[in-house]
Structure formats: C-alpha cells, structure tokens
Chain A
Amino acid sequence: MNIKQSKGYQVFRIFNTVIMIFVIFVTLYPFIYLVAQSFSNDAAVGAGKVTFFPIDFTLETYKYILTKDDSFFRFYGNTILYSVVGTFISVAGTALLAYPLSKPKLRLNKFFTPFVVFTMYFTGGMIPNYILITQWLGMGDTIWAIILPGAISTFNLLLMKSFFTGLPDELEEAASIDGMGVYGIFARIILPLSKPILATMTLFYLVGMWNEWFGPFLYLNTRDKWPIALWVRQLVEGANNVDVSSTAEASSVQATLKSATMVLTSLPIMCVYPFVQKYFVQGMTIGAVKG
C-alpha cells in the first residue's frame, strides 16, 4: 500500500503513540499501585509514601493471608467452587439452547427466539427476583441462589447461536447419512468444531462468576459460604464490621491486607485472559457480524 507519508501524518503518528502510552500507563497504574502497596510496610502505606515501588519491601502481608488466617482459603475455595460449577452449567445450558435455535428448519423457533430475546429488554427486576429466590424457590443461603439466576446470558446465547449458524450444514448432513443421530452429531461434530466459541463462553461465564459479589451479598447469610469478592468488599468498606483479632500482629497488616487480597483475587483472571484473547475477539466478531 502506498500511504502518503505527509508531514502532518508523521506528527499524528507520534501524537498517537504518546496517547497510547498514556492510556497504557493510566490503565496499569492502579494495578502497579496495588501491588506496590501489598509488598510494603504497613506504616509506609499509612503515611502515603508508596507511589510506584514497595517501601520497605516485605512479604509479611502475603504470609499473614496465606498462613495465619484461614478465611482467605475458605473464601477463595468457595469462589473456585461457585465458578467451576456455575461455568459448567452456564456453558452447557447456553450450548443446548443455542444449537436448536440456530436451525431455521425448526418451526417453533419463530416462537422460542423472540421468547428468549425479549428478556434482554425487559426483566423482572431486583425485588421479584429476590422474592422468587428466597421465598418461592427457597434457595436462600445456597450455592444455587448465586449460580442459577444468571446461568444463561442472552447476549452470550446470541453469540453462540450465530457461531452455530455459521457452521457448514454439509458436515451434519454427511454425518446424518452415515447414520449418526442428532445427539451424536452434536457431541461428535458440532462441539469439537466449536472450540473457539466454547472457550469464549467459558471465559465470559468464568470471569462473571469469579467476580460476582451482588448475588452472594443478597443471598448468602452464612459468612463461611462467601466468595472472595464479598470478603474484599468487606475489607474495602472499612474495619468497622471486620472482625479482626485484636492481636498486634493482625492490626499491623490491616492496611496492606486490602491490597494484597485484591491482588490475589484478580491474579488468576489477569493470568488467563491474555491467552484466551484470540478466542473471545473471534467469538465477539462472529456474533457481531452475523447479528
């Protein structure tokens, strides 16, 4: 391509690079600050001395969280449990619904598709949901109250439906002629071909479940069932209702405890998403193009 490299354009490119560096810095700085705090001495944090690098580098906070206080592992374990079970149910449910909806020959889809899409624009709201979960279904204080209400995201469903619509019919027809049934085709032809969209869905649901705090906040009364996000919220909201043991050791990690817990909460997702990026961009693309 012959792009005319005018003076103005060259100036623009320098300007553009500067903007990008600025955006990267602004995006990353809060994380840098958090990490620096978590490795700093509590007194230095309290005095507001930390800006970029840890002051009086120490591993005490992490040591405290990981060895002295078992609440971290309890909440972290809960988050893992909810995320794994929730993601499995969500991905399976979304795939099961999206597959038939992607078949134009199914005449009842004229009803089912609008039935599903309508919920993107009109929902019951917080209070009816709360009453449904706690009173009608009696799911209060159980894992189901957190997992089931948001199990299928209609937006994700539409992404997956467009992906299935884009798969060539010929493969299914050939398999069908070879005597393979509907279930066999789905399990052995469709699902293996759908790795990009399955990876995308898994990431979206996993992130959603991992970060979820409001559902647990509404429905979990027993503290031992909390996910880590709810624990972070309590730490952030301030010490007024945190039951920290009154030992000097406990209070000395209090200020850095917040940052370290936030770092540990975000770490797994920060490590995973760059590797799945290719898939979710692809997934979003297919969904957006096909509509």
Chain B
Amino acid sequence: MAKEKAKQKPVGAKTSLLHHVKKEWKLYSFLVLPILYYVVFKYVPVLGNIIAFRKYKGGSNILGEEWVGFRYFRQFLTDPSFWKAFGNTLRLSIGYLLVRFPATLIFALLINEIRKTAWKRTVQTVSYLPHFISLVVVCGMVKELLAGNGPVNALLQALGMEKIAFMSEPGWFDAVYIISGVWQALGWGTILYLTAMTNINTELYEASAIDGAGRFKQAIHVTIPGILPTIMTLLIMDIGGIVTSNNMQKILLLYNPLTQERADIIGTLVYRMGISGGNFSYASAVGLFEAVIGLILVTSANFLSRKLTETSLW
C-alpha cells in the first residue's frame, strides 16, 4: 500500500534540486550533524593517509614535511617483519574463518532442530552471552583458564598428559586465538541464520516430507538453499575482513614477546611502529596497504558471489 503512494510522488521530480532542498529543508536538517560527524571522523582520516606519502614528524607540520612518494611502501615491502606479520594475518584470519564459519552454520542448523521453545531459548540466551563480554575480560579469562595451574592443565594432568604452557609457546597461539574466538562468536553468529530459517516457507518442508525426505535431507535440500543468500552475505563480509585489523585488539591483549613471531599481525605491527615507535608515516603506509587489500578482497568476493549465486552486498 505504501509503495503505491510512493509511486504517485515523482510528480515533483522535475523541479530543480534547489527547490527540492528548500521544500524538504527540515528533513535535511536532521542530516547536518551526523554528516559532519562522518566528514570529520571517517573521511578526514581517509585523507590523513596522505602522511603515508609524506615524511611526518610530530609537532611541526601536521601534514608532514615533504613528499616522499612510495618510499615508505618500498621500505615495508622489503622488511622481513612486515612479511612475517602479513603471513600471520592471513594464517590467523583464514584459520579462524575456516573454523568459525562452518561451526556457526552447523550450530544454527542444530538449534533449528530443537522443538521445545523454552530449551531453544535457553540455548540461545546462554550462547549469546560471550558476545557481550569485554575483550579485556575474555582475554583475562583465557589466560586464567590456560595458566600453568589452571583448569585446562588440571584436566590434561587428570587424563595423564603433560602440562602445556599455552600462552608462551608460539605453536599454541593459533589454537588459543581461534578457539577463544569461536567461543565468543558462536552463538551471536547464529542470529541471522535462525532468522532466515524462520522465513523459509513451511510448505517446502511439507512437500519434501511427502517426497519422503527425512530431517537430514530437508536440512540439505530446503534449509540450506533457503538461507543461502544469508550465508553468502556473511561470507563476503568475512572475506573482506580477512586482512583488516578487526582482531588486532584481541591479539594485542593476548600476545607477548614469547609468542610474537606467530602472533604479530599487520594491525599490531602498525600499532607498535606508529603509536609506540612514533614512525607515523611508515605505519600509515602499512595501514593503507592493509585497507586497500581489504577493499579489493570484499569487492572481488562481492563480484564472485553476484556471478555465482546472484547474492551481493551492492
């Protein structure tokens, strides 16, 4: 109904833009402060990337001293510690994605099979909880649980195994990072899938039941195709996030000099180089490189998804 009315409107579409703004100035006035916010806090930093191409010294000229072109880019591209961080970023993000993505989907499918409403609600409420806890507390918990005399090691010993120094052995960092991440994200990640599942036409299930499909076949042939657009949308966004520093805060809280060789990612490198080390231009160059790769990844994933499944973010 609302749609029909909207269709009648383009009568005024031919009036000039100035006239349109004058007529609707009250609605536009809502935008002033928020758009100003976006300009200052989102776009000015984008432009601030200029210092990646200029030699920057704090204090004097806020835009840097002089143009140096791609000097800082050449510098980090030949820096072994950059390539180590780059490799760690890919390994940790892709590993996390490969575990978390299917785990969330399977968990959603399993929750969907619960018939008792109260039990379903309980499972959901409990599984959302870790999403609401501060990263600082989550990482604190991880350290407590995995400590030398913590419960995980107590369990290992009870099973007749050796204690493991989880937090100081580089080889364990991936597992600690990935499992704690799944722990925090699992329940929250199911919300959109479960929503999409409730929107699937129940007739499809009835029809497939008549065809003799059991619950498992129904999940494969009805539920999963029904939520495919949701799966693709979330996958595109996750792929875009592979190199971006979403997880930088967590690594900053979890890593230490002993695990750094496996744990240092681009985000933590930028932090150490820039904020701690004061090499603002160098760190900006690394950050800009990361952001551009992230944009390329999300754009390609979006393009591929549109071609293959006709689902896309834009």
Contacts and interface: CB of A to CB of B under 8 A. Distances in A.
Interface of A: 1-4, 6, 8-9, 12-13, 16, 19-20, 23-24, 26-31, 33-34, 37, 46-48, 51, 93-94, 96-97, 99-101, 103-108, 112, 115-117, 119, 121-132, 135-137, 148-149, 151-152, 168-170, 173, 181-183, 186, 207, 210-214, 218, 229-230, 232-233, 235-236, 258-259, 262, 265-266, 269-270, 273-274, 277, 281, 284-285, 288-289
A135 B56 CA distance: 13
A132 to B, nearest CB: 6
B134 A126 contact: no
Interface string B292-310: 0011001000000000000
Contact of B195 (A123, A125, A288): A288
Given A20-B111, A27-B127, A213-B135, 14 more contacts: A2-B209, A8-B214, A20-B119, A48-B149, A99-B30, A100-B27, A116-B38, A122-B295, A124-B49, A126-B245, A229-B136, A262-B140, A270-B132, A288-B195
- Minimum-distance CB pairs A-B, first 7: A124-B45, A48-B149, A128-B48, A211-B134, A125-B287, A97-B34, A182-B26
B150 interface: yes
B195 A100 contact: no
A23 B46 contact: no
Contacts of B33: 93, 96
A218 to B, nearest CB: 7
Contacts of A152: 34, 37-38
Interface of B: 1-2, 5-6, 9, 17, 20-21, 24, 26-28, 30-31, 33-35, 37-38, 40-49, 51, 58, 62, 107, 110-111, 113-114, 119, 122-130, 132-137, 139-141, 143-145, 147-151, 153-154, 183, 186-187, 191-192, 195-196, 199, 206, 209, 214-216, 230, 240, 245, 249, 252-253, 267, 270-271, 274-275, 280, 283-284, 287-288, 290-291, 294-295, 298, 314
A67 to B, nearest CB: 23
A126 B270 contact: yes
B11 to A, nearest CB: 11
B140 A236 contact: yes
24 contacts: A4-B209, A4-B214, A27-B126, A30-B183, A33-B141, A33-B145, A51-B151, A106-B24, A108-B17, A124-B44, A126-B283, A128-B44, A128-B45, A131-B48, A148-B37, A170-B2, A211-B135, A266-B134, A277-B128, A281-B195, A284-B192, A284-B195, A285-B195, A288-B192
B294 to A, nearest CB: 8
A99 B9 CA distance: 19
Contact of B141 (A30, A48, A210): A30
A4 to B, nearest CB: 7
A148 B41 contact: yes
A120 to B, nearest CB: 9
Contacts of A37: 144
B133 A259 contact: no
Classify the secondary structure of A's interface with B.
helix
Nearest to B184: A27
Given A130-B274, A284-B191, A3 B215 contact: yes
Contacts of B147: 48
A211 B136 contact: yes
Contact of A127 (B144, B253, B287): B287
B23 to A, nearest CB: 10
Contacts of A186: 30
A285 B190 CA distance: 12
Nearest to A33: B151
Contacts of B214: 4, 6, 8-9
Contacts of B9: 105
Contacts of A269: 132-133
A107 B41 contact: no
Nearest to B138: A30
Contacts of B43: 119, 124
A12 to B, nearest CB: 7
Contacts of B49: 124-125, 128
Contacts of A125: 45, 49, 270, 284, 287-288, 290-291
B150 A48 contact: yes
B274 A127 contact: yes
A259 B144 contact: yes
Contacts of B27: 99-100, 103, 106, 182
Contact of B137 (A97, A170, A232): A232
A191 B127 CA distance: 31
Chain A CB within 10 Å, residue with most, of B41, B148, B252: B41
B28 A100 contact: yes
Nearest to A124: B45
A260 to B, nearest CB: 12
A115 B38 contact: yes
B81 to A, nearest CB: 17
A210 B111 CA distance: 30
B209 A3 contact: yes
A108 B154 CA distance: 63
